[in-house]
Amino acid sequence: MAIPLSPEVVLIDRRQTGEAALQRALLNESAANLGRLGRAVQSALARLHELDAFASAAEREAVLYACADAVWQYFVQREVCGLVDHRRVIESYAIPVEVLRRVGGSPRPSSQPTTPA
């Protein structure tokens, strides 16, 4: 099965090797994905900031974990791109500590007891 090439790959200098063209295409896709994930972080953080004073604790916790998941995915993609220091990103996006504490975690299902039996 042939893989369709994007216009960028087709227009690459014909002197480039296939490997170089593939590397360029992969870098372009990584950069595009990083942008998409960055926008997802912004959107998740906006939802967190939009929560009003009447939001339940469970609703707030769910939004915090949604933010943490978006941040985690963004951090992973940055690391794939070789960007391992996240301090500037945390500052730039103003990611709250309460979100950072949940990065890589998962919410506790509400049906489970909170204390060991």
- Output the pLDDT for position 8: 59
Helices first, then strands: H and E counts in the chain: 5, 0
Mean pLDDT of the chain: 84
**7 or 116: whose pLDDT is higher?**
7
Give the tens place of pLDDT for each residue, 58-82. Answer: 999 999 999 999 999 999 999 988 9
In order, the DSSP letters of 21-66 are HHHHHHHHHHHHHHHHHHHHHHHHHHHHHH--TT--HHHHHHHHHH
- Output the pLDDT for position 63: 94
When mean pLDDT is compared over 2-6, 14-18, 26-30, 86-90, the highest value belongs to 86-90
Q: Does pLDDT of 91 surpass 90?
A: yes
Token pair belonging to 70: 């978006």
pTM above 0.85, yes or no: no
Answer whether 51's CB lies under 8 Å from 60's CB.
yes
Q: Does pLDDT of 101 surpass 90?
A: yes
Give the tens place of pLDDT for each residue, 25-54. Answer: 888 888 899 999 999 999 999 999 998 878
Q: Where are the domains of the chain?
A: 11-100
- 16 backbone φψ class: left, alpha, beta (φ>0; ψ -120 to 50): beta
Q: Does pLDDT of 4 surpass 70?
A: no
